[in-house]
């Protein structure tokens, strides 16, 4: 499975240097995971699938001026979006030290000047507001919305990478109050 081929298949357009950065990310993620157990995802095919999943929103949402990714973990989706959207400010909130260290290492290695690593829980971010708030597999949607209330604005968009049960997590009052993007990418 080729990264470039899978990006093309998903209609994701990146510059050559961004694809090279993603290829470096794949290599370094595997290296760090062997030693530090950054993620259970170890095969190229699965890593590429997660990269493509992380980048799918670039095909249908307007690029924000800034964003925060909650619980970035091994870099999905926040670091991957930072590679694609290298002209916006991106905060990666990751409380686990070994993962935050990995994110800092990759951001430095790839010279991602648009990335700030916040090694703590998202609710401890102060004096910042974000146009886009993303999260993948962190907690239920209601709790995510509550945890981010102090860093959002009325126009903030929420992009939570969730399974099909996301709609069951939300009642109608929450759907009306927040600007939630719901998009099912379908089967691979």
Can you name the residues that pair with 68 across neighbouring β-strands?
91, 133
- Give yes or no for residue 133 having a pLDDT over 90: yes
11-23 pLDDT, tens digit per residue, is 999 999 999 999 9
**Cα separation of 85 and 114, whole Å?**
9
Secondary structure class of 91 (helix, strand, coil): strand
CATH of domain 3-180: 3.40.50.150
**Cα separation of 100 and 62, whole Å?**
27
User: What's residue 125's pLDDT?
Assistant: 93
Residue with the bigger pLDDT between 165 and 107: it is 107
Cβ neighbour number for residue 119 with a 10 Å cutoff: 16
Report the mean per-residue pLDDT for the chain.
Answer: 90
Angle, vertex CA 81, rays to CA 18 and CA 37, nearest 5: 95
Task: Please measure the distance between the N-terminal and C-terminal CA atoms of the chain and give it in whole angstroms.
Answer: 13
């Amino acid at each position: 499975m080729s990264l470039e081929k899978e990006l093309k298949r998903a209609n994701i357009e990146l510059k050559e240097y961004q694809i090279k950065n993603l290829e470096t990310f794949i290599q370094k993620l595997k290296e760090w995971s062997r030693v530090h157990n950054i993620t259970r995802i170890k095969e190229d095919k699965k890593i590429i699938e997660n990269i493509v999943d992380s980048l799918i929103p670039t095909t249908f949402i307007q690029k924000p001026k800034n964003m925060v990714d909650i619980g970035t973990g091994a870099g999905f989706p926040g670091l991957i979006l930072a590679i694609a959207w290298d002209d916006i400010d991106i905060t990666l909130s990751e409380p686990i030290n070994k993962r935050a260290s990995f994110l800092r290492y990759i951001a430095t290695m790839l010279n991602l000047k648009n990335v700030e690593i916040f090694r703590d829980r998202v609710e401890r971010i102060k004096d910042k507001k974000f146009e886009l708030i993303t999260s993948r597999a962190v907690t239920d949607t209601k709790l995510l919305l509550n945890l981010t209330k102090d860093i959002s604005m009325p126009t903030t968009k929420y992009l939570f990478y969730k399974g099909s049960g996301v709609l069951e997590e939300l009642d109608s009052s929450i759907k009306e109050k927040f600007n939630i993007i719901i998009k099912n990418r379908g089967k691979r």
